[in-house]
Chain A
Amino acid sequence: MKALQVDRTVARFAMARVASGLRPGAGGRFGPLRLVDVTPPDLPGPGWQRLSPRLAGICGSDLATVDARSSRWFEPIVSFPFVPGHEVVADAEDGRRVVIEPVLACEARGIQAFCSACAEGRRRHCRNLTGGHISPGLQTGYCRETGGGWSLALVAHQSQLHDVPEGLADEAAVLVEPAACAIHAALMPMGAAGAGAGQEPAAVVIGAGTLGLCTIAALSRFREDVTRVIAIAKYPHQRDLAARLGATSVAEPTELRRAVRRVTGSWIRDGGQLSGGAPLVIDCVGSAASLADALAVTAPGGSLVLAGMPAPAHVDLTPLWQREVSLSGAYTYGPEPAMGGRHSFDLAFELADAARFERLLSATYPLERPVEAIEHAAAAGRRGAIKIAFDMRGEKKIPPN
């Protein structure tokens, strides 16, 4: 079957790193991703079934992989070669239309004695990402046995499957996985100081790509304690969508501090430092610059959530220390205590429908055009796009085992 596969080829990773330094997305042409003909993955054990992807999104972490810019942190928790693609809407063998929750935790790995995190339903914190009857891999799309969404077939454990509600278009369903990540970030606590007496309970979302826009929509729908959402968006179409999805203020990156000042009633000190800031800041970019910006506008005692997958960064953490800012990551999803234990995916289906997420899917490509697809995704902002995906709906399905 056709699949886009990432091989562990040092020369190709090196070429991708050099090329993507000149032009993001160039790894699609020179890097480790190749269109190959492979045997469909076998079922690793009981509870697994084969899926035929309909749409599979291209995520920021996928781009980092293809461009060879991912952190080396991931090395022990992936297994080569792998087929990327973890934002997937697919047809299951039993006829269901599903999206997958890609984290490969104890249950999917066939580990009977769940780790403490999985026992509590927090698969994202699983301690056994390298154990069980499949190879290392933090998620589907990074594990050699499971395959991934950028192909005509992958396998998934029943614990990973979520039924797509009837009436929700594939184009919206493919946004459910990133939406679930965004919801998890949006529901993070506001920090020790909270809004504080007399302070505007505002949240700042830095970045307005897929993750940022979904976060804005999630804050707007699920956080009654957040009355103002300030979106920082680089491109006009992002600003427009941010406002439509619930941002109460939208500003360009260069206007960040003033935008936060206006909403929070802070003052600007010499050097541009804010006297206050927002009690909740969510960085959906993950660069050194965005993290520094986020730190600059987080209120004393506030909470800074890193939702975008970060790269190695050099950042002055003095404000973090002096203002006792809580810095936390927001990775994937799970039961959300703030929503009475409802699962992020359950909330994401609701959000994708209510906020009409199908409008976030800007373009699709066949598997045969990975170079164009990757380049489009890497330049999505500049090219007026949000989410780019591979479309396998016209392909002949791989027969079941």
Chain B
Amino acid sequence: MPRPGFVLEVDRSTPPVLVWHGEGFRLERLPAERSRVVYAPEPLAPLPDPDAAVRRALLEPLGDSPPLPELLYAGMRLTIAFDDLSLPLPPMRRPDNRQRVIEAVLELAAEAGVDDVVLIAALGLHRRMTDAELRHCLGDRIFDAFAPYGALLQHDAEDPSGLVMLGQTDKGEDVEVNRRVAESDLLVYVNINLVAMDGGHKSTSTGLMSYRSVRHHHNVRTLQHSRSLMDRPNSELHSSAWRIGRLLGQQVRVFQVETTLNNDTFPSQMAFLQKREWEWGVKDRATFVAASRGADALSPSAKRALFQAVLSPQQMTSVQAGEVEAVHAATIANLHRQQLVEVEGQSDVVIFGLPHVGPYNVGSIMNPILVMCLSLGYFFNFYIGKPLVRPGGVVIVSHPTPWAFHPVHHPSYIDFFEEVLSSTTDPLQIEKLYEERFATDEWYRHLYRTSYAYHGVHPFYMWYWGAHALEYASNTIIVGGNRRAVRRMGFKPATTLADALEMAEDQVGRDPTITYFRCPPIMLANVH
């Protein structure tokens, strides 16, 4: 029986705790009697036979949906859309959940004589996936059966002939969707619900729509009123996505298949990363020392290559299919079973140690904007109820924050960093003054459509992701980051965690209470 997550109150006997620092980690001793560490629950047992579970989910759907075989018939147009490479993190070992589900769906489609089947990677405004990445997600069999025949597509949110305007919601939100989806008799959406933000109507209303649609929920107003992003009923972003998804559902039949994973995040060679420090054995200590020293000896690019090659042993813990909202409710319950940690009260300071990878730098560089997004956008929002830190508290982030960008993946990020952030870091000003120009820039559009670049507007969304935290916390301090890059973002640089804690006292007073959110593994704090 895996142990639930828990909160450790730090005393003088507490050993130093592991803090992620990009492609590396540090051991930090936290001040006794006023610090606590939030640990994730241990990994749930995976489904014993995931393929059978997938088949059963397709045959016994939730909500008012008929079983999948009843929706399949010869001569129909079937589209299967799937989440892109932004999850899971790190990428999981083969077979990926998407492969298992899509193989089962294709089997049923073949039994029903469906021969017009198209697969679409639901990229939204993310970069296109490479063939190798598609193979990894879908498996060789599916890739080889579809890709050579033009039946494996990647959503293009800027293709004027590939989009259809379905109408507007009652709040005036445009619903412009992938044409193939709009003209299909059935859309099967296959997801991996890595965090509570994912899934439900957000899958289609983000992954298969155009900038004209996405901008209605990806903006400063919705993000400032999503408290948190991981708690759908209290998220304005999700309210908008739900309205858009429901309108889509009125015109296109959607059969949603959602899966969850356990949080067995790191391979056995890196088992110490999963364990609580006082339970480290000799082997764990030795591995930690070897990994830390080995990483320190490598160049940044070599370190990045090494860490990006890590595949996660995560396994499926649930699969549910059928009507979107019923499915998602069950998915969230299963996700909470793995990720939820009960936490009493807030602290003056919260500490996040960022790992090497986030949703938008798979196979890439964690640039400063992504550091902001991962810390203030994701980690800060890993809560239900209220944030781990009190209003006006301080967020401390540990990450090298290099002044470095992947020129192919993140071209508009470079300009965002150079031009936009050098003039203002206020999300509202940024949105008002710069978003439209970046979103309609022809070069970015070209690179998004033909190369492997994120959409021109994407860095704006990264910044908006942290809008709630920027408004809520009094200060963000980044430990061990490139000082110029940190300052460019309006944050404060610190050399050590001890320095950062001392600097935080300027905002929150002497001897502040501290929460260290020891993530990854991913968890969700239910803060009372």
A and B pair up: yes
Chain A residues with CB under 8 Å of chain B are 249-252, 255, 258-259, 261-262, 265-268
Q: Could you show 26 A-B contacts with beta carbons less than 8 Å apart? A: A249-B419, A250-B422, A251-B419, A251-B422, A252-B418, A255-B418, A255-B419, A258-B414, A258-B415, A258-B418, A258-B419, A259-B418, A261-B415, A261-B443, A262-B415, A262-B419, A262-B437, A262-B441, A265-B441, A265-B442, A265-B443, A266-B443, A267-B443, A267-B446, A268-B411, A268-B443
Chain B residues with CB under 8 Å of chain A are 411, 414-415, 418-419, 422, 437, 441-443, 446
Which residues of A have CB within 8 Å of B411? 268
CA A36 to CA B208, docked complex, whole Å: 80
Which residues of A have CB within 8 Å of B418? 251-252, 255, 258-259
- Distance from A60 Cβ to chain B, minimum over Cβ atoms (Å): 27
B417: nearest residue on chain A (CB-CB)?
Answer: A255
CA A251 to CA B441, docked complex, whole Å: 19
CA A249 to CA B420, docked complex, whole Å: 10
A275: nearest residue on chain B (CB-CB)?
Answer: B443
A interface secondary structure, majority: mixed
Which residues of A have CB within 8 Å of B437? 262
- Distance from A344 Cβ to chain B, minimum over Cβ atoms (Å): 33
- Beyond contacts A262-B441, A267-B446: 8 other A-B pairs, Cβ-Cβ < 8 A, are A251-B418, A258-B414, A258-B419, A262-B415, A262-B419, A265-B442, A265-B443, A268-B411
CA A251 to CA B419, docked complex, whole Å: 7
B interface secondary structure, majority: helix
CA A107 to CA B439, docked complex, whole Å: 59
B411: nearest residue on chain A (CB-CB)?
Answer: A268
A266: nearest residue on chain B (CB-CB)?
Answer: B443
| B419 x A259 contact (CB < 8 A) | yes
Which residues of B have CB within 8 Å of A258? 414-415, 418-419
- Distance from B492 Cβ to chain A, minimum over Cβ atoms (Å): 18
CA A206 to CA B442, docked complex, whole Å: 26
A254: nearest residue on chain B (CB-CB)?
Answer: B418
CA A250 to CA B443, docked complex, whole Å: 21
Which residues of A have CB within 8 Å of B446? 267
Which residues of B have CB within 8 Å of A261? 415, 443
CA A249 to CA B418, docked complex, whole Å: 11
CA A261 to CA B414, docked complex, whole Å: 12
Please provide the 10 A-B residue pairs with the shortest distance between their CB atoms, ordered closest to farther. Answer: A267-B443, A255-B418, A258-B415, A262-B415, A258-B418, A262-B419, A265-B442, A258-B414, A251-B418, A267-B446
CA A268 to CA B441, docked complex, whole Å: 12
CA A34 to CA B419, docked complex, whole Å: 46
CA A259 to CA B443, docked complex, whole Å: 13
CA A305 to CA B419, docked complex, whole Å: 25
B418: nearest residue on chain A (CB-CB)?
Answer: A255
A239: nearest residue on chain B (CB-CB)?
Answer: B422
B407: nearest residue on chain A (CB-CB)?
Answer: A268
Which residues of B have CB within 8 Å of A259? 418-419
- Distance from A197 Cβ to chain B, minimum over Cβ atoms (Å): 15
- Distance from B354 Cβ to chain A, minimum over Cβ atoms (Å): 26
CA A265 to CA B441, docked complex, whole Å: 7
- Distance from A75 Cβ to chain B, minimum over Cβ atoms (Å): 43
- Distance from B130 Cβ to chain A, minimum over Cβ atoms (Å): 19
CA A255 to CA B419, docked complex, whole Å: 9
A272: nearest residue on chain B (CB-CB)?
Answer: B407
CA A261 to CA B441, docked complex, whole Å: 10
B446: nearest residue on chain A (CB-CB)?
Answer: A267
Which residues of A have CB within 8 Å of B441? 262, 265
CA A251 to CA B442, docked complex, whole Å: 21
A265: nearest residue on chain B (CB-CB)?
Answer: B442
Q: Which of B411, B419, B437 has the most CB of A within 10 A?
A: B419
B443: nearest residue on chain A (CB-CB)?
Answer: A267
- Distance from A253 Cβ to chain B, minimum over Cβ atoms (Å): 12
Which residues of B have CB within 8 Å of A267? 442-443, 446
Which residues of A have CB within 8 Å of B414? 258
- Distance from A313 Cβ to chain B, minimum over Cβ atoms (Å): 27
CA A266 to CA B443, docked complex, whole Å: 7
- Distance from B167 Cβ to chain A, minimum over Cβ atoms (Å): 32
CA A341 to CA B443, docked complex, whole Å: 42
Which residues of A have CB within 8 Å of B419? 249, 251, 255, 258-259, 262
B434: nearest residue on chain A (CB-CB)?
Answer: A262
CA A262 to CA B419, docked complex, whole Å: 9
- Distance from B450 Cβ to chain A, minimum over Cβ atoms (Å): 11
CA A267 to CA B446, docked complex, whole Å: 9
Which residues of B have CB within 8 Å of A266? 443
- Distance from A290 Cβ to chain B, minimum over Cβ atoms (Å): 19
CA A83 to CA B242, docked complex, whole Å: 78
Which residues of A have CB within 8 Å of B422? 250-251
- Distance from B336 Cβ to chain A, minimum over Cβ atoms (Å): 44
- Distance from A273 Cβ to chain B, minimum over Cβ atoms (Å): 13
CA A217 to CA B415, docked complex, whole Å: 25
Which residues of B have CB within 8 Å of A265? 441-443
- Distance from A174 Cβ to chain B, minimum over Cβ atoms (Å): 32
Which residues of B have CB within 8 Å of A250? 422
CA A251 to CA B414, docked complex, whole Å: 13
CA A249 to CA B458, docked complex, whole Å: 22
